[in-house]
């Protein structure tokens, strides 16, 4: 049988068709617009997600045995607010994970309700990108829209609803709403009361590998597939990527270099760090994970290439970053183009270059962008290490993982082995694997990961380069505290 994994990203939806052995049969991508109505705001039209996903599935299935399709599941951008009215119509454009408008609401939750209480109820504190502050913002600024709310959904769950007619979410995605009791895997009645929402607005909770329903007959007919195709809950993009990279089991780690950047650490037990610098979420395998998330990662390089030096030749721009330059660059880059989440929790933070001189080159600036992202990822690693978590190696995925240079920089900045996978499809692969588990192809998520995920290379840290980057990191981590007070004035 075959399975579809849908990776609902920020700039595009990627769809992957996989057979029962884990062989990728076809991959299709469809882009859609991203809107920035005001500085720091980020929105999308959920209808675009659905129409592009449907068009993508038609192309994906073209030429295959459509009746062999058994299940569809998802990995999706997290935290986004999709509000539906009583007629199941979208009330307003979705407010996305990287939207920074909720500073006031986030401060209210953290300071008036209190971080200790939030952590007790949800295992997390409020971040500007989380769903609950967005709903509070809507209540305060768009009361006429707030009054229409009948359902609150997350992005991938809107797709699942359009395909199955069922209101559902999974534990990993729900973990990032601030309405969810992560430890007990249920909605928090206390948080619903604090935020002034009805629990009936929230969808039913599933484990990521559970079936939420079957495909609607009219959708099945439009795609030419069986009416028995299962729609499976899926996971937030990082948990889905972790499944797709085999990051399951205690201590397993994955670094994702997508639009955002994450450090994902799988755990068999529930845990929270003292300062809530890392997110404590449920994992797609029925267990837990810690996650550090930076809002701009590969998107920093895309911004630098596309908007500043205006080239699409990403690989060519890295050719001039020669061996002698590694660990020796005097230019620093803060990768906070959309504010920052872990570990600073500062939506006002901004990107900047420092250390430039008359002999600074184009290659130095490009290198600084790659290194700045690596240094920011290390910030989250340091929090994990402070908890006694020992990380000796990591998987890597996302668009940035296609760069051999960037992988080498990350291995040496983090001083860990970086395992390169046979495929780096991440969330779409994880979604397809979750569908396969739900359909009985594999007994558990771990079984699917062990059978499908293959490491083909390992980038080893180099002691001399590790030492150079250690010195550079110690300088890097002094920059944000020095500039923090200036960012709100920009």
Strand partners, 72: 4, 231
Strand partners, 340: 346
* CA dist list (Å): 469 to 126, 412, 414: 32, 7, 9
User: Distance (Å, rounded) from C-alpha 67 to C-alpha 119?
Assistant: 47
What one-character-per-residue DSSP string does 173-208 give?
Answer: HHTTSSSEETTTTEE-HHHHHHHT--GGGSPEEE-T
CA atoms within 13 A on the CB side of 148: 15
Cα first-last separation, the chain:
55
Q: Which of 21, 6, 1 is nearest to 60 (CA)?
A: 6
Catalytic residues: 237
Backbone angles phi, psi at 137, to 5 degrees: -60, -45
Strand partners, 12: 31
Angle of CA points 268, 292, 6, to nearest 5°: 80
User: Distance (Å, rounded) from C-alpha 105 to C-alpha 124?
Assistant: 15
Classified as helix, coil or strand, 338 is coil
Question: Does the annotation list 275 as a binding residue?
Answer: no
Q: What is the DSSP letter of 416?
A: S
User: Distance (Å, rounded) from C-alpha 152 to C-alpha 95?
Assistant: 12
Q: Specify the pairing of strand 235-236 against strand 253-257.
A: unpaired
Question: Does the annotation list 78 as a binding residue?
Answer: yes
Classified as helix, coil or strand, 305 is helix
User: Distance (Å, rounded) from C-alpha 185 to C-alpha 231?
Assistant: 21
* CA dist list (Å): 409 to 8, 213, 330, 365, 460: 28, 44, 15, 15, 10
**Could you tell me how far CA 64 lies from the centroid of its own chain?**
30
User: Distance (Å, rounded) from C-alpha 477 to C-alpha 260?
Assistant: 19
| C-beta separation of 273 from 288 below 8 A | no
**Can you give the C-alpha Rg of the chain in angstroms?**
21
Q: Which position has the token pair 């599933």?
A: 206
Count of other CB atoms within 10 angstroms of residue 394:
24
| C-beta separation of 97 from 317 below 8 A | no
Binding-site residue numbers are: 78-79
Binding-site residue numbers for substrate are: 78-79
């Amino acid at each position: 049988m075959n399975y579809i994994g849908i990776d609902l990203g920020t700039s595009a939806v990627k769809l992957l068709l996989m057979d029962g052995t884990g062989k990728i049969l076809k991959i299709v991508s469809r882009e859609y617009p991203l809107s920035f109505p005001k500085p720091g705001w980020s929105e999308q039209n959920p209808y675009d997600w659905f129409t592009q996903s449907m068009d993508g599935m038609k192309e994906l299935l073209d030429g295959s045995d459509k009746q062999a399709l058994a299940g569809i599941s998802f990995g999706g951008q997290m935290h986004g607010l999709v509000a539906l009215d009583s007629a199941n119509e979208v009330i307003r454009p979705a407010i996305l994970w990287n939207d920074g408008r909720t500073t006031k609401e986030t401060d209210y939750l953290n300071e008036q309700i209190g971080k200790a209480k939030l952590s007790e109820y949800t295992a997390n504190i409020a971040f500007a990108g989380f769903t609950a502050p967005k709903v509070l913002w809507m209540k305060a600024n768009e009361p006429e829209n707030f009054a229409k709310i009948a359902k609150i959904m997350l992005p991938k769950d809107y797709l699942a609803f359009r395909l199955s007619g069922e209101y559902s979410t999974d534990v990993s995605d729900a973990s990032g709403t601030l309405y969810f009791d992560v430890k007990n895997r249920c909605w928090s009645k206390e948080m619903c009361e604090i935020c002034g929402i009805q629990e009936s607005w929230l969808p039913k909770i599933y484990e990521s590998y559970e079936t939420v329903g079957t495909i609607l007959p009219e959708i099945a007919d439009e795609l030419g597939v069986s009416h028995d195709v299962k729609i499976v809950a899926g996971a937030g993009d990082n948990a889905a990527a972790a499944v797709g990279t085999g990051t399951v089991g205690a201590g397993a780690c994955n670094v994702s270099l997508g639009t955002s950047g994450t450090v994902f650490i799988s755990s068999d037990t529930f845990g929270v760090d003292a300062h809530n610098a890392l997110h404590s979420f449920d994992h797609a395998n029925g267990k837990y994970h810690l996650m550090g998330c930076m809002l701009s990662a590969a998107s920093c390089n895309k911004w630098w290439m596309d908007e500043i030096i205006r080239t699409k030749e990403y690989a060519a721009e890295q050719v001039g970053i020669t061996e002698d330059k590694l660990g020796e660059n005097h230019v620093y880059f803060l990768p906070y183009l959309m504010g920052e989440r872990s570990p600073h929790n500062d939506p006002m933070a901004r990107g900047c270059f420092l250390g430039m001189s008359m002999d600074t080159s184009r290659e130095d600036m490009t290198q600084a962008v790659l290194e700045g992202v690596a240094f920011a990822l290390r910030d989250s690693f340091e929090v994990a290490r402070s908890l006694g978590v020992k990380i000796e190696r990591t998987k890597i995925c996302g668009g940035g993982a296609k760069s051999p240079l960037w992988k080498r920089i990350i291995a040496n900045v983090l001083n860990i082995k970086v395992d390169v996978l046979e495929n780096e499809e991440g969330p779409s692969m994880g979604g397809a694997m979750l569908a396969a588990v739900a359909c009985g192809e594999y007994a558990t998520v771990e079984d699917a990961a062990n059978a499908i995920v293959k490491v083909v290379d390992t980038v080893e840290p180099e002691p001399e380069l590790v030492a150079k980057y250690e010195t550079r990191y110690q300088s890097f981590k002094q920059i944000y505290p020095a500039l923090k007070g200036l960012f709100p004035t920009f």
